[in-house]
Structure formats: C-alpha cells, structure tokens
Chains A and B, each alone.
Chain A
C-alpha cells in the first residue's frame, strides 16, 4: 500500500558505532509524523527512560518532518520537529520538543527520509552527510570550533569541490534512486542543521541552527548534539513526495489563499486571523533598509522573515531580533545605529548557536545583580565582562561568547539558570520575581501565567514554556485595538462563540472555556481548554507539521461568516491531511491522536520522575500580583461578568492561588483519566487508547497510576 505523504523510511544513526540503518515508517504510521512519531521512536529506542539530562549518552534525539513537510500545505511545508530529553531544566530536564523552520525537513523528505533518529555518542566529532539514500559519517574535527554559518559554508565548499561543477550543480546521479537520471541533479544547496560554540560546550542555552536564521532553541538540543559529538547533519535530495490527491491539495491551498487570506488588491492590515494575514515580517525593529525581500520556510503562504541588502539580520525573526533592544537604548541614541546593533546582535546568537530566549528575562536578572553589586569584577559572583558596556555590540558578543563557551559566569549558567541562581545563593530572586523563570527552569515568555491561563497552565502541565500561540492573538489583537482606540473587529461574545465552534471535541460550543476571569480561572472549563490545546498541538501542529504562528485559525475577518480555516470543510487541517495522506481522518480524530501522543509523552515524564508534587510554578507567580501598568496598561481578554455577559476585561492585577491551582490540577488529571494523586497515566486510560505496551512498561517500573485515585 502506498504511504502517501511519507518517504517510507526513517534514518537511524548510531553515532557510537557510526552505523546508519533504515526503519520502516509504516511501523510508526499511527503516530502521524513529527512529534508523534518521534515520541514513539524515543519510546522504542531509548533504553533508559529515567535519564534526567539530555547530555546522557542514552538520550535519543529525533529530527522529524511530518507528512506535510515538502508539500504545499500552507505554512506546513517547511517546519521540522526536534525531540529528546532536554538540558538545563529544573528540577528535571524533561523529554521535550522544539521546532525549526526553513527547508531542512523538505529536503530530508526529498532525500527519501521521514526523519532522523540520533543515538549514542561518537568518539570524535562527526558530521553526517545525507545524499538521497546514501549516508556517510564524516570527520568534523576541522569543523569543530567554527560558528554555525562558517560550518555551513565549509560544508557547502567541500561538497562543491567533491562533485559539483563550476556552475554549482550537484550531480547525484550515481546515487539516484528516483528513476530518470536527470532527477539526480540539483542546483540546490544542501540543507544543513548544525551547532555552534554553545552546543559544542554543551550549554543549556544551545540551539540547532539551519541556514542563516532558523533555530531550534528551546530544550537545549544544541547541547544534546554537542554531547554526542555531532556537529552537523547535511542533507540534499532530488526526489519528491507522492501525495494522495494532488488536485485536492492544490484546491485547498487555493481556498486558503483566496478565501481565508487578506486580499492583495484590497489589503486589510487589521485582519483578525492567524492564517489570513498578509506577509508580515516579525523582526522586532524597524528594517534597516527598504532594500529587502521576503523570506520564509518552504511552502509558507505568508512568510515572516526578511533578507536585506545590508547583509545583516537575514532570516532572523521574532525573539532573537528583540533580546538586546532594551539595553541598546541605554548607550546608543541614534535609532538607525540602534537598529543595526539590534539585528547584528541577532546574528551573533545565530552564529554561536545560542538560544537567545534565556536572555528575555535572564539578562534583566544579570543586570539586576550587577546593579545590586552582587555580580562583577571582584564581586561575590565574579565576572570580568565589561558590564558598563551593556548595550554595545561588543558586549553582546562578549556575553554570548562567555555563555556559549562556559567562561566567566557562563561556567555556572551552562547547566541551567535556576541552578545557577541556587549556586549563587539567589534563590530568593525566584520569589521576588527578579528572576522570572516561571516553569521548569525556563523563562517567562511574554504571556504571563497570571493573566493568560492556557499558556501558563499548558506550560506547567507540559515540559517547558509551551511557546504555543493558539490563543494569544486574542490578547494582542484586542489589546492593540483598545490601545489605538480602534473599533473592535469582533465583540467578546462573538469572538468566544467563533472560537468555541472549533474546539471539538471537549469544548465545542462551550465558550466559557475561554473565560479567564477570577471566578472561572480554576474551573473545569479552563482545564478543558488546556487539554484541547495540548491534544490539538501534539497532533495537528507538531506531528503533521503546521506552523505555530499560523494555525489554528479560529476566526477570520477576511471571511463573511468570520469563521477561520481550522476544521472547516474547505481549508481545514483534516482536508490537507486527506489530500496528502489519503486517510479520511476527521478533525476530532486528529485531536484524539494528539491525546494519545500527549499520553505517551506523560508516560515518558513519569518514567523520568514526574509526580504531581513537583508540578508547580516559580514562587513569584503565587506571591506577587501581575502589576497593573508595569509592562503595559492592560491585558485584554474576553471574560464574563457576574451576569454572564461577555466583555473584554483587563487580567492584570492578580496572582495565582496555590491551593486553588492544586485543585485545578486534580480536575485536569481527572479529565485526562490520570491518577489524581500522582498525575501518572492509568492502565484503563492507556488501554482504551490501544497503548497497553505503555501501561505494561509503567507497571514494570512501579509507576502506573492507580485507577480511580
């Protein structure tokens, strides 16, 4: 039977033995692809699932495209899931995930692979070269020490020298398996994923980088690769992916473009939609020059990156283009110069393979320690870094170098920021909020758990800062409209009804799940919302794979009915699934698969040592209110008043209640069918999902949840 949407085999790399083998994708078909398949592969191949640090040689890291990778599914063709036990979390580095964009996942599929499973540890640095079905382990001694851009340049140089022509063609004909000989030729560059200094030194803030600006930052997977002596994976493929119904795929893509996406002829820059915006670069500073062109992951229908004629800031988007901005203004007055430093600081973290997300709240904390006199030359926390130059480009590089190479304060921060706080005697900062690392040793994202519940609760019930933007366009769209005094495109009651229509099965037509008011914040309804988000994401977003910035699309002001593409009969996730794979899976069926994947993940966390007793936020979230007007004057969200009437309401000015959150956890575990005393999955729940093998493993480890507890 044809396995539409899949290449048919998964590459298994044993770095210890330098052996590459193929695993039949069909064996893992039930898990969809991406995250689901990766969790199942981890389950099968990780021999010690009690490991608590991703640098343990037993760790298994998967780099997994999904069935949509390499196709024209809108904002679904170029994303790639990375999984494994992470690094630097607290108190345990969980089995976790990250995602990376660009063209790596598509190229891997074109080379004939549905994913890469990385096991063991090479005795010397290696890089892995994949050319269609041929896989070689190469000596990376000369690449070790190069930054992520230089590494890619050097690999491309080596590849051109070996079998290129002067015109830059790669001729893979002698290795082509794809029928006609000409299909073995390509002008494409290999897609390379690599680590920089932060990964080589196995630091918690190490990312995987691909091309100029794609990164898998969260989770510390750069450190995982560094621990395995894996410098890079390069892939080039000249094949293609057979989809079940190309006409249906094209038709659905056109529906998204013509029905759900804002028109170029009559552009609406205030569209309320996630999928339906015009291309919107999400660099966080004013572009340095009008001479630029858009750039995106493969297949995106409205990309979010830019390339500039000035040659810096290319492809960086989102947080890495804002991490340094608050500090630059201290020393640099000129806006053009400030913008240049800002984007060059983005380049710095890309080159070091450094996850700048830790700087989001972490750099404010370090500055706080300096100002307090606790950190600096000769201080209790000794540092020779030139802190008075914080805000200059030179300092950005010096700090990132130190943190990437375990020098200066980087030696203590390399194994986790919360761990460093304890070592420095600064645990109190987690109580005052001077160190805002809210969940599992990771920084608060910008959607404070005291206000935006699905983000916070989802993070703590999961494995790290969730970084799942399903719902928070509600906050940004409404708050921006209120800030400008613009008319609201959707009234609160209308918006929640539109969203609830899409929340099948648990919360379908239950708008109260979105009510984050004080009266409803620990309710069963909010627990259902968090469940829906976790299950939806585990399959539709992380396994198929769809971009987090575009899906789900709940409401859409480009459409007369205002209903978004998610779950719709013409442009919904399940429409693309059927067109690509041929399988008639309903939208709810996909959410159910997500529940199975979520349960598998929880089983892994349970084996690693999770218990409900350690599932709690950083103390400051219980001890201090989210202060009104500190970061912004309001945090608007739809809530019901005492009469049940919906209105956009400010959620600032409150803190979490520890006892009530404990009750909420019990509600959540009950709904999931887990043991409420431990949070562990139960046999009945697992067997009902055809996951007896998981129940057996948990029972053997003495960590199966009790029924009815």
Chain B
C-alpha cells in the first residue's frame, strides 16, 4: 500500500508506538464459530495490528468508526483517523476493510518507528 499520510512528528510517533492507559483501551471482539463472539481489547496500535492479522479460524471484530474515534481520541493521531474513516467509506466488504486497515496500521507503525529512530517499540499491556 502506498503511504498516503505524512510522517508523524516525533511526539506523535512516540504516542503511536506507546500503549494507552487501560481506561482508554478499545474493546474488540472475534467471531469464532461455534463459540460465538468473544471479547478482547487493544491498548496500542501494535496490538490492533496483531488483532487484525488474518487467521483461518476466525474473523476479527472491530468497528471502523469506533476505531477511528479511538485512534483520534486515545492515540491522538487525527490523520490516521481520517484514513480509517476513508477505509470504512470505501472498502467493498468488511473483511476487505480489515485487510486495508491492517496495511494502514502497519504502515503508520513503520513511519513512527522511523521517526523515533528505529528504537525498540514500547508495547504490551500496561499492567
């Protein structure tokens, strides 16, 4: 995917790579027949990326508008939020939307890592 976003400034890049506090986590789910819809949450874009990675057994559950709002409010990346809304508007199907979202998030994380100098990512839970 071609990057449509300008690289984030340093401070935003750090936020993109950091987990948000537990209170600002985004609830997500997964459709796993025959268990049904199982709950989960993500606390960083890195975790969202992993949540969206396709597997043969299940479908990730995210709401695009909820994701855009979370990216804007909790992560603080307005440009990324606009792109997420663009995906929601344009994707021909939900699964294709997830695939595009995955690429977009991967790209944004790559940009952020470059900006902060390729240092180790802060990720994982805020426990």
- Contact call B57/A284, Cβ cutoff below 8 A: yes
Chain B stretch 34-63: residues in CB contact (< 8 A) with chain A: 34-41, 43, 47, 50-51, 53, 55-59, 61-63
Contact at B57–A285, with CB atoms within 8 Å? Answer: yes
Residue B89 CB within 8 A of the other chain:
no
A628 to B33, CA, bound (A): 19
- Are B95 and A371 touching (Cβ within 8 A)? no
The reply to whether the CB of B6 lies closer than 8 angstroms to some CB of chain A is no
**Do A371 and B39 have beta carbons less than 8 Å apart?**
no
Interface locus among A386-394, A661-669, A690-698? A386-394
Q: Write out the residue numbers on chain A whose beta carbons fall within 8 Å of the beta carbon of B94.
A: 482-485, 633
Apart from A329-B51, A480-B33, A632-B37: 20 A-B pairs, beta carbons within 8 A: A285-B57, A371-B127, A372-B22, A390-B127, A391-B124, A446-B32, A446-B35, A447-B37, A476-B34, A483-B94, A485-B94, A629-B64, A629-B65, A630-B27, A631-B29, A631-B37, A631-B38, A631-B39, A632-B31, A633-B64
Pick from A370, A445, A632, A633: contact of B127, CB under 8 Å? A370
Q: Which of chain A's residues has its CB closest to B67's CB?
A: A629
Question: Is A233 an interface residue when CB atoms closer than 8 A count as contact?
Answer: no
Instruction: Decide if B92 is an interface residue (CB 8 Å cutoff).
Output: yes
| 6 sampled A-B residue pairs with Cβ under 8 A | A286-B56, A325-B30, A364-B39, A472-B36, A476-B34, A632-B59
Residues of A contacting B125 in the complex (Cβ-Cβ under 8 angstroms): 330-331, 388, 390-391
- Give the CA-CA distance A482 to B91 in the complex, in Å: 13
**Bound form: Cα–Cα A631–B123 in Å:** 22
Task: Point out which of A283, A331, A370, A629 has the most chain B C-beta atoms below 10 A from its C-beta.
Answer: A629
Residues of chain B contacted by A158 (CB below 8 angstroms) = none
Q: How far is the CB of A383 from chain B (nearest CB, A)?
A: 13
Q: In whole angstroms, what is the CA distance A372 to B94 when docked?
A: 34
Q: Is A528 an interface residue (CB 8 A)?
A: no
Number of residues from B at the complex interface, CB < 8 A: 43
- Whole-angstrom distance from the CB of B115 to the nearest CB of chain A? 21
Chain B: minimal CB distance from A101 (Å): 14
**Is the pair A446, B93 in contact by a Cβ cutoff of 8 Å?**
no
Q: Does A517 contact B (CB under 8 A)?
A: no
Min CB distance, A357 to chain B, in Å? 9
A318 and chain B: residue at smallest CB distance: B35
Chain A residue nearest to B19 (CB atoms) is A330
B96 within 8 A of A: yes
A329-B51, A390-B125 known; A630 vs B34 contact (CB < 8 Å): no
A284 near B58 (CB under 8 angstroms)? Answer: yes
A285 engages B55 (CB within 8 Å): yes
Known contacts A286-B55, A633-B64; decide if A476 and B47 are in contact (CB<8 Å): no
Specify the chain A residue showing the minimal Cβ separation from B121: A333
The complex places the Cα of A484 from the Cα of B97 at a distance, in Å, of 10
Shortest Cβ distance from residue A699 to the other chain B in the assembled complex, whole angstroms: 41
In the complex, B28 has a CB within 8 A of chain A:
yes
Pairwise interchain contact B61-A631, C-beta atoms closer than 8 A: yes
CB of B66 within 8 A of chain A?
A: yes
Interface positions of A (Cβ within 8 A of B): 282-286, 318-319, 322, 325-326, 329-331, 333, 335, 360-361, 364, 367, 370-372, 387-388, 390-391, 436, 445-448, 469, 472-473, 476, 479-480, 482-485, 549, 628-633, 635
A330-B47, A633-B94 given; A628·B63 CB < 8 A: yes
- Chain B residues contacting A286 (CB-CB under 8 Å) are 55-57
**Chain A positions within 8 Å of B43 at CB level:** 330
Which residues on A sit within 8 Å (CB–CB) of B123? 333
- Residue among A331, A447, A482, A483 with most chain B CB within 10 A: A483
C-alpha spacing A360/B38, complex, angstroms: 7
Whether the Cβ atoms of B37 and A361 lie closer than 8 Å is no
Decide: A631 near B27, CB < 8 A? Known: A329-B51, A364-B39.
yes
B61-A633 in contact (CB<8A): yes
Residues of B whose CB lies within 8 Å of any CB of A are 22-23, 27-41, 43, 47, 50-51, 53, 55-59, 61-66, 92-96, 123-127
Cβ contact within 8 Å between A330 and B55: no
CA distance A3 to B36 in the complex (A): 40
- Count chain B CB atoms within 10 A of each CB in A361, A367, A388, A633 and give the residue with the most: A633
Q: Nearest chain-A residue to B46 (Cβ)? A: A333
Q: Closest 5 interchain pairs by CB?
A: A446-B36, A629-B63, A631-B29, A485-B93, A326-B40
In the bound complex, CA of A628 to CA of B61 (Å): 11
Instruction: Tell me the bound Cα distance from A621 to B38 in angstroms.
Output: 17
A-side contacts of B27, CB under 8 Å: 630-631
Chain A nearest Cβ from B64, distance in angstroms: 7
Within 8 Å CB of A472, what residues of B?
34, 36
Q: How far is the CA of A376 from the CA of B50 in the complex (A)?
A: 28
* CB-based contact A331/B63 at 8 Å: no
Q: Closest B-chain residue to A629, C-beta based?
A: B63
Contact B35 A283 (CB under 8 A): no
**Closest A residue to B63 using CB positions:** A629
Which residues of chain A are near B56, meaning CB under 8 Å? 286
Tell me the smallest distance from the CB of B2 to a CB of chain A, in Å. 23
Once the chains bind, are B35 and A319 in contact (CB under 8 Å)? yes
CB-nearest residue of chain B to A317: B34
Which among A284, A330, A472, A484 has the greatest number of chain B C-beta atoms within 10 A? Answer: A330
Contact of B92 among A326, A482, A485 (CB under 8 A): A485
Residues of A within 8 A of B31 (CB): 476, 479-480, 483, 632
Residue pair B64, A446 in contact (C-beta under 8 Å): no
Which of these, B38, B50, B62, contacts A633 with CB under 8 Å?
Answer: B62
Instruction: Check A326–B38 contact: CB distance below 8 A.
Output: yes
Tell which of A330, A333, A371, A483 touches B59, judged by Cβ atoms closer than 8 Å.
A483
List the A side residues contacting B50 at CB < 8 Å.
Answer: 329, 333
Contacts of A319 in B (CB 8 A): 35
CA distance A364 to B126 in the complex (A): 14
Give A394 to B95 CA distance when docked, in angstroms: 34
CA–CA, A322 to B55, complex, Å? 13
Q: Report the minimal beta-carbon distance from A280 to chain B, rounded to whole angstroms.
A: 9
**Closest A residue by C-beta to B31:** A632
B39 touches A361 (CB 8 A): yes
B36 contacts which of A371, A391, A447 (Cβ < 8 Å)?
Answer: A447
Contact in complex: A282, B93 (CB < 8 Å): no
Q: A319-B35, A322-B38, A476-B34 are in contact. Are A484 and B57 (CB under 8 A)?
A: no
Provide the bound-state CA to CA distance between A448 and B29, in Å: 13
**B53 and A284: CB pair below 8 A?**
no
Q: How far is the CA of A54 from the CA of B95 in the complex (A)?
A: 46
Complex Cα–Cα for A282 and B62 (A): 22
A372 to B65, CA, bound (A): 27
Contacts of A318 in B (CB 8 A): 34-35
Contact call A387/B127, Cβ cutoff below 8 A:
yes
Q: A476-B34, A484-B93 are in contact. Are A630 and B29 (CB under 8 A)?
A: yes
